[in-house]
Amino acid sequence: MHYNKLKIFIRNYILNAIRTIDDKFYAENKITKILFIFTDTYGFSCQTPIIQALETKSNINIRITTVENTPQSNIRCSTEQEQKIFNKYFINNKTATFSKWHLILDTHINSFYPKRNALRIGMHHGPGFGILGSKIHLVQNYDIFFGLSQIERYFLEQIKPDVFANNRAFFATGFPKADSLTNQPTNKLALFSRLDLKDKPTILITSHWQPTSTIGTFGSQVFKMLAQAFPDHNIIQTGHPWLWKNHKKIENLNPVTLIKEFNDIASQHTNAYFLPNENAEELLLISDLLIADHSSIITTYCLLDKPIVWFDNPEVSFAIPEIREAYRKASQTYIQLDELLDTCKLAISNPKDKALGREKMRNIFYTNQGNAGEKSAEILMAIGSICSIRSPSWKKIINLSNQADHSAINPDKS
């Protein structure tokens, strides 16, 4: 027993010594080597704006790999542009595992394990925190975390004051996936034409996948009610992708039954459209009112500063109560189904009513609006060719992280 422990100790000692020599050889290198981990299409959509911004920089080596040893031909990205970027920089998992990297960027906790030291950087794959979780468990898996705002750091340090101490850095980069929503002009008529919608006011209904969501609680009733009550509006129903897939077991929800119900409603009402697979951001762009639940899509819609009706389900427990209050102040709310129609009419008749609440939501969840990809790339370049928190240059990263007085930010005064 003691012999085996000794063997493990010696083995680890030798490996760590080799890795330290390896780090010194690559430290302060003129070329910064960055690896992006593709975990799913949504996560990659969040990484793409950063990769595009890095392409304009010099002295950078970008590569993309998958969590497992997946053939390149098996990966299908969300858009043609993202597919081109993926194909351009792809290397297989095995090669990536044994190659030397300074920085490895993830959107999800995953099982990719490099054989050589590298700084692990985590970022959000959705524009939210404090809803179903504080994200503290996510942050603690990384050396560096790219957060949505300095206010997020404030909340994380309320939960664990030393979470960003000498061994972990935080940078408020924002949410790169939303850059296009802010920057691209909306060609509403072209989107209407592609989706075969009539040119009239549009209400979008979204739903999280959980039993406490709009669909989990009310099924198809919201879609049917709005189609009947607002014949002069397009009524679009969409939802989280897991709602429509058989592989995900969701309590009391059957994807086949759900799809049939929504298709039946759409066939019975000329103003009703069931669009489960369309790009959510494009649907937000053409909508005049959003009906949503605790999904983080509400935070995205606040970028457009248009009215929101929120299902404030008492059964949903927010990890950070202040975030629930921010949701309430940004929207007109309902709890019971019989309150829905009057709440929608109120939101439609007074679209500016919750503008201050929506502004606060933008401050909480969207630092660097329209420029988060570029800001993330700048921070990666500033970090440079460091591959371990044991590097003599690690203190420089901590100092960069602490340049903004994150701890002094009070979200109630934002």
String of b and e for 294-315 (b: at least 16 CB within 10 Å)?
bbbbbbbbbbbebbbbbbebee
Question: How many structural domains is the chain composed of?
Answer: 2
Q: Count other C-beta atoms under 10 Å from residue 278's C-beta.
A: 14
Residue 408 falls within a domain, yes or no?
Answer: yes
Residues 252 and 374 in one domain: no
Could you tell me if 181 and 375 are in contact, meaning their C-beta atoms sit under 8 angstroms apart? no
Residues 51, 377: Cα–Cα separation, whole Å: 8
Residues 108 and 159 in one domain: yes
Joined together, the tokens standing for residue 224 give 């049917």
Residue 38 falls within a domain, yes or no?
Answer: yes
Residues 304 and 276 in one domain: yes
Residue 1 falls within a domain, yes or no?
Answer: no
Residues 208 and 356 in one domain: yes
Domain residues for the domain of 393 are 16-175+369-413
Residues 326 and 395 in one domain: no
Residues 255 and 404 in one domain: no
String of b and e for 203-235 (b: at least 16 CB within 10 Å)?
bbbbbbbbebbbbbbbbbebbbbbbeebeebbb
Q: Count other C-beta atoms under 10 Å from residue 331's C-beta.
A: 27
Residues 122 and 83 in one domain: yes
Could you tell me if 94 and 69 are in contact, meaning their C-beta atoms sit under 8 angstroms apart? yes
For position 394, which CATH number holds? Answer: 3.40.50
Residues 143 and 267 in one domain: no
Residues 122, 109: Cα–Cα separation, whole Å: 8
Final residue in a domain of this structure, among 346, 365, 384: 365
Residues 72 and 191 in one domain: no
| Amino acid type, 120 | R
Joined together, the tokens standing for residue 181 give 């929503």
Closest CA to 393 of 28, 105, 122: 28
Residues 217 and 171 in one domain: no
Residues 323, 196: Cα–Cα separation, whole Å: 37
Residue pLDDT tens, the chain, 414 long = 566 766 666 666 566 655 666 666 667 778 999 999 999 998 999 999 999 999 999 999 999 999 999 999 999 998 899 999 999 999 999 999 999 999 999 999 999 999 998 999 999 998 999 988 788 999 999 999 999 999 999 999 999 999 998 789 999 999 999 998 888 767 888 888 888 899 999 999 999 988 899 999 999 999 999 999 999 999 999 998 888 876 556 667 788 889 999 999 999 999 999 999 888 888 999 999 999 999 999 999 999 999 999 999 999 999 999 999 999 999 999 999 999 999 999 999 999 999 999 999 999 999 999 999 999 999 999 999 998 898 888 999 999 998 865 433 444 544
Give the CA-trace dihedral at 341, 343, 349, 355, to 10 degrees: -150
Q: Is pTM beyond 0.85 here?
A: yes
Closest CA to 238 of 217, 221, 215: 215
Outline where DSSP puts E strands in 275-372: 289-292, 308-311, 332-334
Residues 126 and 212 in one domain: no
Residues 169 and 224 in one domain: no
